[in-house]
């Protein structure tokens, strides 16, 4: 009886130690049925159109049949662009939403889409140049990804918009100790900074208003509790010592 009791206790202790070191599967998987309240075949989302805000950077290039005159209005000089930073080839939108355009002066582009802003700048230019067109793009867009990801840092992106999964892809993905159900999005608004909790294991995340990120967003992946428990009590040396003890106990009670 004593032998059986000892074996049973030793076995339970061993199982408990391994269980403590395991990461629950539901913490490792993205979008799951198990964490979704209503499972659907199709999830709708409305992709918001990015609008120009203060401190955005806009690349604007003027195209015209009159090359010499067009160059005066353009912030691109094809003969010197090779080594220039994008900062020097873009217009920074002021705190009031305007850009200072050569010879024209301030043009208010606040809260306009790229198409709307492009049309407005072309209209202003038409007073000085005929048969002109411009190209306009957002530049210098960055997001920051921190926490339990393989490559923390600030990442530039050149698309008009990226979603939360693309941002995590830039950071190399979530580590095995990252809790995909506890992701924090830090977003700056006009006069405030707000924190939004996201659950990336829920399929309905694609319907969230925070699925698409904005320049300047910070994404933080929180660690699962297992990591803290392991760091406190289950180091590699502890595992070896415990295993040795268990083997000794099993050997003793097997005699």
In this structure, what CATH number is given to the domain that contains residue 94?
3.30.1950.10
**163 and 121 in a common domain:** no
**66 and 185 in a common domain:** no
Classified as helix, coil or strand, 135 is: strand
**Rounded-to-integer distance, Cα 182 and Cα 239, Å:** 29
| H or E stretch at 237 | helix 236-254
**78 and 121 in a common domain:** yes
pTM higher than the cut 0.75: no
Range of the domain at 145: 25-48+141-223
**212 and 176 in a common domain:** yes
**134 and 69 in a common domain:** yes
Q: Could you give the angle at the alpha carbon of 251 between the alpha carbons of 247 and 253, nearest 5°?
A: 120
At residue 97, the pLDDT reads: 94
At residue 90, the pLDDT reads: 83
At residue 198, the pLDDT reads: 95
List, for the chain, all residue ranges whose pLDDT scores fall below the cut of 70: 1-41, 43, 45, 67-89, 226-255
**66 and 84 in a common domain:** yes
At residue 79, the pLDDT reads: 37
Domain tally for the chain?
A: 3
At residue 1, the pLDDT reads: 53
């Amino acid at each position: 009886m004593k032998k059986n009791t000892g074996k049973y206790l030793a076995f339970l202790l061993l199982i408990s130690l391994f269980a403590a070191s395991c990461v629950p599967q539901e913490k490792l998987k993205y979008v799951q049925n198990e964490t979704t309240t209503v499972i659907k075949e199709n999830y709708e989302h409305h992709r918001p159109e990015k609008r120009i805000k203060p401190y955005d950077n806009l690349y604007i290039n003027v195209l015209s049949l009159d090359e010499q005159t067009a160059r005066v209005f353009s912030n691109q000089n094809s003969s010197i662009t090779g080594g220039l930073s994008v900062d020097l080839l873009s217009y920074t939108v002021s705190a009031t939403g305007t850009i200072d355009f050569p010879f024209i002066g301030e043009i208010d582009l606040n809260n306009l889409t790229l198409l709307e802003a492009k049309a407005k700048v072309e209209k202003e230019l038409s007073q000085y140049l005929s048969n002109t067109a411009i190209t306009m793009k957002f530049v210098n867009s960055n997001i920051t990804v921190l926490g339990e990801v393989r490559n923390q840092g600030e990442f530039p992106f050149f698309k008009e918009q990226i979603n939360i999964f693309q941002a995590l892809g830039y950071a190399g993905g979530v580590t095995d100790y990252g809790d995909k159900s506890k992701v924090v999005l830090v977003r700056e608004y006009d006069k405030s900074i707000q924190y939004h909790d996201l659950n990336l294991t829920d399929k309905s995340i694609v319907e969230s208003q925070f699925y698409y990120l904005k320049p300047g967003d910070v994404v933080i992946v929180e660690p699962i509790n297992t990591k803290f428990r392991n760091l406190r009590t289950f180091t590699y040396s502890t595992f070896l010592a415990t295993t040795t003890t268990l083997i000794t106990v099993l050997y003793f009670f097997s005699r």
